[in-house]
Amino acid sequence: MSDAVLFVIPGALRALAGNRAEVRLERAAGPLGDALSRLWAECPALKDRVMTETGEVRPHINIFVDGKCFCCPPSAAGSRQREPPLRPPFRMGS
C-alpha cells in the first residue's frame, strides 16, 4: 500500500503548480498540515494563494479530504473542523 498523497489542483491555481492538475507526494500520509507543508515545498507559489499571512486557510478556499470539507469558511460550515490525519490511500482536492 502506498502512503502517497494526491493533491487535485483547481484550474485557477494550476499555473502556480507548474500547470499540473495533480501533485502526487510520496510518503506524505500523516497530519494535513504536514502534507500541506510538503506541497508548499513542491509548489511554493501556491502557499500565498491558499494561506493568509497568519497561517490560516483563506476564507474562499475549501480543502477536501476524501470528499469531506475540512477548511470551509466559517460562514459556510458553521466552524472549521479539526485537522484530519491523512491515511493511505488518500486523495485531496475539490
pLDDT tens by residue, 19-52: 999 999 887 677 788 888 899 999 999 999 988 8
- Does position 91 have pLDDT exceeding 60, yes or no? no
pLDDT tens by residue, 60-83: 888 887 777 776 544 444 444 455
Residues 55, 2: Cα–Cα separation, whole Å: 29
- Domains of the chain (ranges, CATH numbers): 5-56+85-92 (3.10.20.30)
C-alpha cell at 77: 460550515
Provide the 10 A C-beta neighbour count for residue 25: 18
> What's this model's pTM, rounded to 2 decimal places?
0.71
